[in-house]
Amino acid sequence: MDSNADLIQLKQLYTELLDITERHGKGEIDYQIQEIKNVINIIHGTIINGDKDSEEVLQKVRKINRNIYPPRGGLTDFFIWSNDVDQRIKLNEPLSNIGNKIWEILN
C-alpha cells in the first residue's frame, strides 16, 4: 500500500464529499462538514510539506472518519431527498460511492 498515493486519493474523495455535503446538507450535518474540512486540511498539509509519516496521518484520518460515519447519525444516515425516486438514486449514488472508496482505503 502506498500511503502517499492513498492520501492523494483521499484528498480528492473528501473534496468531492465536501462539495456534495455543502450543497445538500447545510444545517443538518454541519459537524460532519467541518470534520471533512479538517481532514482535507490535514491531508493537504502532509502532501505539501512532504511529511514522511503518512501512515500516522492515515491513522488520524481513520479516527476522524469514524466521527463522520458513526454507527448512527452523521453521514451514515445522511441521504439527499428527491420526490422522484430515479433522481434520488442518481443524487445519492456518488455519495455512496465516495463513502465506499474512502472505506476501502482506510480499512
The Cα–Cα gap between 67 and 5 comes to 23
The pLDDT tens digits of the residues spanning 29-71 come to: 999 999 999 999 999 999 888 766 788 899 999 999 999 999 9
Cell numbers at residue 63, please? Answer: 479516527
Instruction: For the chain, give every domain's residue range.
Output: 3-106
The Cα–Cα gap between 23 and 21 comes to 5
Q: Judge whether 11 and 107 are in contact, CB under 8 Å.
A: no
This model's pTM is above 0.85: yes
pLDDT mean over 88-96: 97
Q: Which residue has the cell 476522524?
A: 64
